[in-house]
């Protein structure tokens, strides 16, 4: 929770290698987008999170370089595509401006607000350049400090202070497509990562028969983001024996990084790699964050004896979970009963 000057964060950011500092940057950036200028209603949540993700990536670029920030952009875009596929490409819930009337606001807390909002700002940056966008953003937060902002008011300000100053700019931005149309607009900038290109090469070598241990020299300096991308790139058909070879080489099961574990355990569950079961169950009993719990419970429920195992773990672990997690998991496990 991003209280000004007193942010409460999940203990899962303590990975032991300072690899998840982007979350710290994100929550600190909420001092501006979210606390200095606050979304007027939950329908306008993207004004909080779209700006904050954009700021987070800019901070990471400043600290660690453009190639590092590019990895975050690619992972974010992948998460956005997954969310759009899950919700439905034509669903109004993929609009930036939502309609949550009569609904739980939690239904609007998806990657749409975060990553589609960030992509809109990236598109605008590409059209006008960073110096102009930075000047606009600084003036926006100065002008509306300690006030609530809704989407209509923001669009009015954006047009008056920026878009209307350059004929044709709003058309090139395709603003209405971003705000009130589903999916990801066609003019969204492509995001690529040079460092992930090296991961793709390692995955190709692995698929061609290279032993995992032989990849050690080129993976020695990988960040957690490269490892997550690597795990997402593994085929879903790997056997338990193949996963053991990967685990022996890279020690995924004993990782202290929640992002890596959440990408690894679905593979172990699918393949029946039982050596990872104690670590998985320990993770589910001690981590209370929905982002990690939901995909792991879904993966567990998809296994032959998963319903019984999931219910047993959940009954023990539920008191330790955040309320937003139990709200989702109560429904998920009830559907599988």
Considering the domain architecture, whether residues 6 and 87 belong to the same structural domain is answered as: yes
Considering the domain architecture, whether residues 245 and 176 belong to the same structural domain is answered as: no
Question: Of 2, 27, 56, 115, which residue is the catalytic one?
Answer: 27
Q: What's the CA gap between 42 and 40, in Å, rounded?
A: 7
Residue 114 falls in the annotated catalytic set: yes
Single residue among 155, 180, 205 that ends a domain in this structure: 180
Considering the domain architecture, whether residues 133 and 218 belong to the same structural domain is answered as: no
Say how many CA atoms lie within 13 Å of 57 toward its Cβ: 24
For residue range 122-132, what is the model confidence (pLDDT) as tens digits?
A: 999 999 999 99
Collapse the DSSP code of 38 into the 3-class scheme (helix H, G, I; strand E, B; otherwise coil) and give the result.
strand
Considering the domain architecture, whether residues 155 and 218 belong to the same structural domain is answered as: no
Q: Are 229 and 240 in contact (CB under 8 A)?
A: no
Q: What's the CA gap between 10 and 1, in Å, rounded?
A: 9
Q: Is the pLDDT of residue 323 over 90?
A: no
What percentage of the chain reaches a pLDDT higher than 90?
87
For residue 55, give every residue at least 6 positions away whose Cβ sits within 8 Å of its Cβ, in sequence order, or none.
25, 26, 29, 32, 33
95-124 mean pLDDT: 94
303-308 mean pLDDT: 93
Whether residue 44 is contained in a domain is answered as yes
Tell me the CATH number at 8: 1.10.390.10
Whether residue 60 is contained in a domain is answered as yes
Whether residue 43 is contained in a domain is answered as yes
> Would you state the pLDDT for residue 13?
82
Of 87, 98, 12, nearest in space to 49 by CA: 98
Q: Are 297 and 310 in contact (CB under 8 A)?
A: yes
Considering the domain architecture, whether residues 6 and 155 belong to the same structural domain is answered as: yes
Q: Is the pLDDT of residue 325 over 60?
A: yes
Considering the domain architecture, whether residues 161 and 235 belong to the same structural domain is answered as: no
Residue 157 falls in the annotated catalytic set: no
Q: What's the CA gap between 317 and 337, in Å, rounded?
A: 18
Whether residue 200 is contained in a domain is answered as no
Considering the domain architecture, whether residues 52 and 129 belong to the same structural domain is answered as: yes
Whether residue 190 is contained in a domain is answered as no
**Which range of residues forms the domain containing residue 141?**
2-180
| 80-118 exposure pattern, b = at least 16 Cβ within 10 A, e = fewer | beebbeebeeeeebbbbbbeeeeeeeeebebbbbbbbbb
Considering the domain architecture, whether residues 230 and 310 belong to the same structural domain is answered as: yes
Q: Alpha helices of 144-222 — where are they, by DSSP H?
A: 151-161, 169-173, 175-180, 194-207, 216-219
Considering the domain architecture, whether residues 48 and 123 belong to the same structural domain is answered as: yes
Q: Is the pLDDT of residue 336 over 70?
A: no
Domains identified in the chain, total number: 2
What are the beta bridge partners of residue 248? none
Of 48, 57, 64, nearest in space to 23 by CA: 57
Question: Of 49, 56, 114, 259, which residue is the catalytic one?
Answer: 114
Whether residue 98 is contained in a domain is answered as yes
Considering the domain architecture, whether residues 235 and 145 belong to the same structural domain is answered as: no
Considering the domain architecture, whether residues 140 and 224 belong to the same structural domain is answered as: no
> Would you state the pLDDT for residue 210?
96
Tell me the CATH number at 323: 1.25.40.320
177-203 mean pLDDT: 96
Q: In the predicted model, what is the mean pLDDT of the chain?
A: 94
For residue range 23-74, what is the model confidence (pLDDT) as tens digits?
A: 889 999 999 999 999 999 999 999 999 999 999 999 999 999 999 999 999 9
Considering the domain architecture, whether residues 166 and 20 belong to the same structural domain is answered as: yes
Whether residue 188 is contained in a domain is answered as no
> Would you state the pLDDT for residue 19?
80
Single residue among 180, 195, 224 that ends a domain in this structure: 180
Whether residue 198 is contained in a domain is answered as no
């Amino acid at each position: 929770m991003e209280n000004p000057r007193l942010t409460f964060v999940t203990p899962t950011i303590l990975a032991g290698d300072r690899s998840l500092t982007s979350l710290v940057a994100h929550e600190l950036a909420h001092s501006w987008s979210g606390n200095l200028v606050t979304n007027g209603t939950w329908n306008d949540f993207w004004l909080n999170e779209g700006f904050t993700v954009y700021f987070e990536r800019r901070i990471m670029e400043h600290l660690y370089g453009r190639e590092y920030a590019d990895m975050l952009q690619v992972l974010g875009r992948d998460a956005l595509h997954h969310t759009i596929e899950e919700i439905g490409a034509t669903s109004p819930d993929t609009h930036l401006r939502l309609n949550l009337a009569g609904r739980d606001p939690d239904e609007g807390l998806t990657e749409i607000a975060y990553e589609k909002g960030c992509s809109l700002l990236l598109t605008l940056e590409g059209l006008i350049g960073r110096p102009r966008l930075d000047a606009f953003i600084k003036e926006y937060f100065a002008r509306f400090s300690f006030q609530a902002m809704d989407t209509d008011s923001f669009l009015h300000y954006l047009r008056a202070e920026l878009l209307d100053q350059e004929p044709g700019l709003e058309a090139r931005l395709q603003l209405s497509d971003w705000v009130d149309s589903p999916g990801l607009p066609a003019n969204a900038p492509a995001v690529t990562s040079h460092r992930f290109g090296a991961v793709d090469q390692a995955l190709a070598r692995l698929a061609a028969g290279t032993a995992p241990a032989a990849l050690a020299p080129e993976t020695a300096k990988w960040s957690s983001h490269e490892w997550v991308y690597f795990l997402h790139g593994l085929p879903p058909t790997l056997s338990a024996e193949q996963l053991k070879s990967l685990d022996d080489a890279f020690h995924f099961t004993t990782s202290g990084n929640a992002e890596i574990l959440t990408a690894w355990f679905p593979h172990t569950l699918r393949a029946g790699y039982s050596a990872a079961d104690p670590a998985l169950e320990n993770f589910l009993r001690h981590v209370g964050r929905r982002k990690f719990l939901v995909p792991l419970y879904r993966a567990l429920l998809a296994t032959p004896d998963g319903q019984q195992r999931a219910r047993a773990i959940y009954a023990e672990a539920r008191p330790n979970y955040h309320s937003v997690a139990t709200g989702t998991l109560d429904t998920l496990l009830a559907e599988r009963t």
